[in-house]
Amino acid sequence: MTRFIFITGGVVSSLGKGLSAAALGALLQARGFKVRLRKLDPYLNVDPGTMSPYQHGEVYVTDDGAETDLDLGHYERFTGVPARRSDSVTTGRIYQTVIHRERRGEYLGATVQVIPHVTDAIKEFIAAGLDGDEDFVLCEIGGTVGDIEGLPFLEAIRQMGNELGRARTLYIHLTLVPYIASAGELKTKPTQHSVKELLGLGIQPDILLCRMDRALDSNQRKKIALFCNVHERRVIPALDVDTIYQVPVSYHLEGFDRAVCDHFGLDVGEPPLKRWTDIVQRLRRPEGEVKIAVVGKYTHLQDSYKSLGEALTHGGIANNVRVDLDWIDSEVFEKPGAVQHLEGVHGILVPGGFGERGAEGKIEAARFAREHRVPYFGICFGMQMAVIEAARHLADLPGANSTEFGPCQDPVIGLMTEWLRGNALERRAAGDDLGGTMRLGAYDAMLAEHSKVRAIYGKSRISERHRHRYEVNINYKDRLEAAGMKFSGMSPDGELPEIVEIENHPWFLGVQFHPELKSKPFEPHPLFTDFIRAARDQSRLV
């Protein structure tokens, strides 16, 4: 029997619903249950693929090519359950579905309304695409209770509670209990008002998860329980912690997973959490430190690179070192003498991105890494900028550039349709919208014998997730290889370059895909593990 847990948020946004859902999923997994996590986002975009990273943060990509919210990355990292297209939905997708049904006459002339047609579509999504043997489906509802755009989702989960009954549904509400310094106390009133708002919509929360920066005393806990109509044992403090990987342990110590099991009448033993405590200990007591410069376009909002930051942390865990990240806006390298910002770093990483802004700065960062023999990791756009740098300064092609920025003398980077003949690649997306021109999701690559990357992976064929519109132009392969840039990973048909590396360099790799999307704390991605190892070796030379 599949049980549904609905996680809502109140008072303010960014309290950590996604992390809370991921941590609870991990705890239930540790107790022996099978889980699946889903995200319901109230915005009208069909998906976050065309949204600015400054507004939405990272776009997380699944194996089946869905562009989703970054919380799905938390779900995968904490539970290891691969996310799918069916695990993420927005108001835009729901309305798109309903309107298409209306146009096809599926509503038989009925007046199409939010209730029941939109809420029915939401409920269909919540229950669809399951394997059938899930013990729990955890559904996080984006936004904050009180937001007008979230009302259809809250109504849909209220209806599911009525239809399935308490034996199969549970409501968790995450709120803020702020500390007011001038009063010298935690204030429970925002939580009371948030629960009142939820009650007005017909939903009584079963468990309250209270974010706070200090311990909750017994009187305050009783007060919250009394005014919010929940049992005192189900008021769970969610204290700030020094690493997100402490969250499952912290929640367990506060009785969170026990309260969930009690609600459903499940009598199971204590979960083994040693692997979580071991990870936390490694993070708190490293044997060394490396400094990595991340030269990107969206460094002012680190959520834009959420999976990347976590993958670098995982590489540090694997090497038992602390990874100190120096987030640098690539535009600073377009000024004379700015490369001094990179002096003393042990590794340089240039991540993905779109557009011309900051591109020349990324090229300069790649040049600095190559010439100063600093470990370099170029991801997606970062690989393309490394190819342009090599073309200009190693292959004697000063006019080399990407057609993404306009016409150029030597288009070493371009759209596939500009230089590929025939149907060389199966297109995951179709149509004339912006998503239709992208390569999205998992694709295979073949690794060259005797290459660095094949030694890192330990196999000849890999599968990695992509999200990009432009590719390295295969017509320049021979010239670049003659100049010292080896094409060590190719698509199975040999048409699309996937990985490049600089020979006779301590560690210089560029990959067209996004390996950070598959890294987990217990399974660090091999590329990040080896990159941090190389940075650790570099730190001993500096």
> Tens of pLDDT along 126-153?
999 899 899 999 999 999 999 999 999 9
Residues of the domain holding 258: 3-279
Q: How many domains does the chain have?
A: 2
pLDDT tens by residue, 374-405: 999 999 999 999 999 999 999 999 999 999 99
In the residue annotation, 505 being an active-site residue is answered as: no
Identify the three-state secondary structure at position 61: strand
Domain final position from 279, 312, 333: 279
Domain match, 43 and 128 both: yes
Domain match, 308 and 218 both: no
Domain final position from 244, 279, 314: 279
Domain match, 194 and 335 both: no
In the residue annotation, 468 being an active-site residue is answered as: no
Give the pairing type, strands 35-41 and 88-90. Answer: parallel
CATH for 453 = 3.40.50.880
Indicate yes or no: pTM above 0.75.
yes
Give residue 429's pLDDT. 36
In the residue annotation, 100 being an active-site residue is answered as: no
CATH for 14 = 3.40.50.300
State the catalytic residue, choosing from 310, 364, 380, 505: 380
Domain final position from 279, 311, 336: 279
pLDDT tens by residue, 253-290: 999 999 999 999 998 888 999 999 999 999 999 999 99
Q: Is the pLDDT of residue 52 over 90?
A: no
Characterize 178-210 residue by residue with b for buried, 16 or more Cβ atoms within 10 angstroms of its Cβ, and e for exposed: beeeeeeebebeebbbbbebbeeeebebbbbbb
Q: Give ∠ CA 110-116-119 in degrees, rounded to 5.
A: 135
Could you list the beta-strand ranges (E) of 407-493: 410-415, 439-447, 461-468, 470-472, 485-490
Domain match, 362 and 505 both: yes
State the catalytic residue, choosing from 346, 468, 514, 525: 514
- Report the largest interatomic distance among the alpha carbons of the chain, rounded to a whole angstrom: 75
Domain match, 210 and 292 both: no
